[in-house]
Structure 1
Amino acid sequence: MSNEHITLTAGDAEVDVLPGNGGRVGGLRVGGVELLRQGERFGCFPMVPWCGRIREGRFRDGAAVHQMPLNAPPHAIHGTARDTAWHTARKSTDEAVLIYDLAEPWPYPGRVTQRIALTEGSLTLTTGVETYESSFPAQIGWHPWFNRTLGGEDARIDFAPAWQEERGEDHLPTGRRIAPRPGPWDDCFGMPDGVDVTLTWPGRLELKVTSREQWVVVYDEQREAVCVEPQTGPPDGLNTHPRLVTPLEPLEASTTWAWRRL
């Protein structure tokens, strides 16, 4: 893997971009304070061409059934892009654009482009999947690991989802929508007006995660971090809510994290 390390800066914000490690954002510092859990598996990675778990690693596209590697047995999880090196298409002081060409074990050719754009008060991640050949189902999402504490009290998570996807014993949605339940969570929620989740580190920082997409997975079962994951569909969505990438219509999505000091 390439060990290229890109640092973006804007005001007192700094972002580390690691193309060789799954195209991930390795760090986000505001006033020198690191917001993301550190480590080669953490930071924030793009989930593409699917998000969360695929049941038993199998998805159907028309008559064809495709098998993905079971990297979270008995399921496949979080796509292939986080496990490969991306190519840097361009970079400046406050923006980087990365490219990844879909390859085995994913069965379809296509290109993923990720734009990482920093301002003094926000970070916007924009991802697109395009194809020039056969159409295929896909998903886009982001998996940030925000530090649970910034040296003070634990972060508070505030959001008002319209529903929660009922989670089965296999960790996948059952297809039933239920009233949102209290955490801790490893659950998918529906926000039909767009994802809008606020993380508050009392006395330190408030950070809003927004997206025009309508699904968010919140994962806060680990002591070190909380994850707020906007995505274009629910877990197992390649089977239950497929979004088609076609030569005429790419799949595109974005999320913005905006912060302010308290």
Structure 2
Amino acid sequence: MKKTILADKDGELLELLIAKYGKLVTSVEIEAEAKAIWDYQQTHNRIQQLVKNGWLIRIKRSLYAINDLSSRGLLSVSPYVIAALLVEDSYVSFEAALNYRGMFDQFVRQFTSISLKQYKEKKLEAIEYQFIKSQKKLFVGWEKVEIEGMTAKIAYAEKALVDLVHFRTGRYVVDLVIEKLQTYEKDINIELLTYYIGLASQKTVKIFGLIFDFLGWDSKELFQNLAGNRSTHWMSTNDKTFNAKWRLYYDEYFNKYQTEKGD
């Protein structure tokens, strides 16, 4: 993001806005503080120029984030907060939620949120914000957290793991979930995890059932969720290895966990 040297009046205005409103401001608030300096049209032009030069970041209509005067182009508002501002009825999940919970140490460039309606993706600075529509019964397993005085909504680790499998599946996702369950077994609430799995699709239940068996965990409750169900599912389209207990085709790649842990 291009940054130019601030004019004195621009700098004074931004400092005043930060002091009075914090890092997030509306057009109305900017206009209220700028009216002593410029008229309406001049203020509108200055807002556009500040956006162009990277000092203001447009989050959505009439809402802006003020870049720290020392941030040199890095958005100073947490992406978790930005996600909540973009779509109020949403919570951050997947890798970003695991990152917040201390279970994913890589830099997250895509913040995926679960929402009750479908929304377009949006990119701000280097971060992509994606929103996945969910059934209301699955819109659980998150909490409001305060980050630098602002509110974000973030999934618990257990729900983030279930969301990954339910909405994505695929070899990378299942491998990631197994890795996190192995590494953070002592930190995972198995009872809570099992509850969230039970809310998800039959395919998700079967995948976690297979994972539980590979890890040597008790999968009885998951199996009971499928009582009387004889349908067959595929973890991924071209999978050819069949597990009779779960009636699930999966990638033979995952047999390495069965070999290591036993059944």
Smaller-chain TM-score range?
under 0.3
TM-score, normalised with respect to structure 2: 0.23
Higher strand proportion, which one? 1
Higher helix proportion, which one? 2
TM-score, normalised with respect to structure 1: 0.23
Ranked by relative contact order (alpha carbons within 8 Å, sequence separation 6 or more), the top structure is 1
Q: Which has the larger radius of gyration?
A: 2
